[in-house]
Structures are given as structure tokens and as C-alpha cells.
Amino acid sequence: MPKVRRSPSGRIPQWAIDEAFGRQAQQAPWRAPEPAPHNAGRPAFGRAPRPHGPRKRRLLPALGVALVICLYFTPSFLSRVVLPFAAPYLPGATVPPPGYEAASSPLGTPPASTGSTAFVLQESPDPGQRFAAYDPCRPVHYVVRPDFAVPGGDALIRDAVAATSAATGLQFVYDGTSTEAPADEREAFQPDRYGKRWAPILITWSTPQESPGLAGDIAGDGGSTFIQAPGQPMVLAAGQIRLDAPDLAGILASRPDGTEQVRAIIMHELGHVVGLDHVSDPAQLMHADNVGVVDFAAGDRAGLALLGSGPCVPQL
């Protein structure tokens, strides 16, 4: 992981962002990626690529009285969409027209880095780029499917999104409810449902019966799709989160701090959606086996601030 030092102003210096994204003064000529086998890098929803194996949220008895909430979530939808060229939109196109809502500069400003190195960024499939992030020059849209929602679910999602927005500087926009069901292989472009743009982040309250990947101890999973135009940095788009509604409803009903715990679970999943992976430090919310952390910690915030400083790519 590249080391990111703070500038005198306390903000992440541009050279550090450039280094993290693998930029060079003279960019090497772009070469088309080698064709990937079907579903390469696209694990089944809720299961991490080997050697990590499944990561789960466990409920363990503590002293025979309380429950320890452990977050074992995995980034999902590690799929990659490489655009053949930036063509005008045509009926039946498999990608949207480029530049939808693209501004000339970032819409928000990430906070100053905490200086912590206790974070891990999801590895980009592009070997020339350390990690991918959402385009900060566009709003990050999201929708919620309300089926099976837990009591107060709307407020929990809203608060978790607001915390993620503040930690990254990304500007999230709620587009309302959706009837779209969760899917292991979600389409990143759905013009009939969402118009001529990349699909918004989909947050669903689901069940193990509807989503077998949530069976057993798994309380949720999520991630985003990698999108890349020729010669341009890879970015994230069309994320998705699935939440085990019966499991989370049980946490809300059985724990005095259930609201904080469920909100933390959603924040953890949003961390995966915007590009964070699990860490080994148990003091961070993004630790795979989280016990009692209900807010982003210093390492989480350092990683989220860097992810909010990603490149603007109007060619997408």
C-alpha cells in the first residue's frame, strides 16, 4: 500500500493521490486488456475470491448473557466492464452515453486524512492502478427496495449514507424506492429501469430464502462493479448491498444498542461499496470480526478520505 503523507494544510496532497492511482507524468500508451474468462474476478454474491473464503457476521454468546456482533462481510460484484469505445448512445446499447451528470470538478471535498494506515483498499483489476473509486465529479445515486425492511430501516440507511458521504466527500443522492430484486449478477446498465446512466447503488432488505448467500451467519454483503473506458482510470459504479432483514430485526429487538449495531453493519457494507476491504486492526469498523465498534475509526476514515479523492472520468 502506498504511504500517504499529509500536506501542511492537512489535506491529502495531489502527488499522493497520483501515486496511489499509479499515475505517471508521461502516461504509457494504453493497451487493451487481455480477454478474461467468463465470470473472471466475479465471485458469487456474498463469497470472497479464494484464499479468503466466506466472511460472515456471527452472533456469539458472551458470558451467557449478551451477544457479540461480529461483522464478516465481503466485497462483492468484483466484476469488470471494459468499454470498447465512447460511442453515442443507441437503442439497445449495453453502456450509457458518456458524461452523464459529470461536472468539471469534484462535487465535494474529502476531509483531511487522519494519518492512519489502518485501512486496506480493494485491489483494482487493472495492474497499473492501485485501487478504484467512485467518480467524485458526479453524484452517487442510490435506491432502496423496501420489502422486508426492519423497523426504522429508512433512517438507518439514511444515517449510514450520510456518515459515508461525510467521510469521503462523495455526494450521495437518494432516488427513492425500487422494485429491483437483489441478484448475484446484477446488470450495471438498466436503461428501462433507471434511464441512460449507470445503475444506482441498490440497497435491499432481503432474506435467506430470497438470497441464499445470506443463509447461516451471514447478515449482509456488498460491493461495486469496476468500469473502465480505454486509456482512462478504472472507477466504481452500480454497487449493491443485501441485508439479512430477519437477522438484523433480531438485533434491533434483542439489544439495547441494536440501532447503533445495525447502522454500523450498513456503514461497513457501504465501506465495501466505495472501495474498502477488511483490515486486521480490531479497532476499525472495517475489521472482519468487529466487536463493539459502531462508527468509522481513524483507519477507516483515512481510507475513505483517499477513496473520495479518486479521478474524475467524464468519458464514462
Q: Which of 233, 298, 295 is CA-nearest to residue 270?
A: 295
* pLDDT tier for residue 313 given thresholds of 50, 70 and 90: very high
What CATH class does 14-23+44-89+105-307 carry?
alpha beta
> What's the gap between Cα 63 and its chain centre?
35
pLDDT surpasses 80 at 298: yes
The pLDDT value recorded for residue 80 is 56
**Residue range 276-281: mean pLDDT, rounded:** 94
* pLDDT tier for residue 292 given thresholds of 50, 70 and 90: confident
pLDDT surpasses 90 at 10: no
pTM exceeds 0.85: no
The pLDDT value recorded for residue 138 is 98
pLDDT surpasses 50 at 71: no
The pLDDT value recorded for residue 121 is 96
- Per-residue pLDDT of 30-52, as tens digits, reads 333 333 333 333 222 233 322 22
Cβ–Cβ < 8 Å for 150, 205: yes
Report the distance separating Cα 256 and Cα 252, nearest Å: 8
* pLDDT tier for residue 19 given thresholds of 50, 70 and 90: low
Report the distance separating Cα 115 and Cα 92, nearest Å: 47
Report the distance separating Cα 305 and Cα 177, nearest Å: 28
- The overall average pLDDT reported for the chain is 78
The pLDDT value recorded for residue 217 is 79
The pLDDT value recorded for residue 123 is 87
Which of the pair, 312 or 87, is modelled with greater confidence? 312
Range in 58-67, 129-138, 239-248 with the lowest mean pLDDT: 58-67
**How many CA atoms within 13 Å lie on the side-chain side of 284?**
24
Q: Which of 267, 257, 254 is CA-nearest to residue 292?
A: 257
Cβ–Cβ < 8 Å for 55, 288: yes
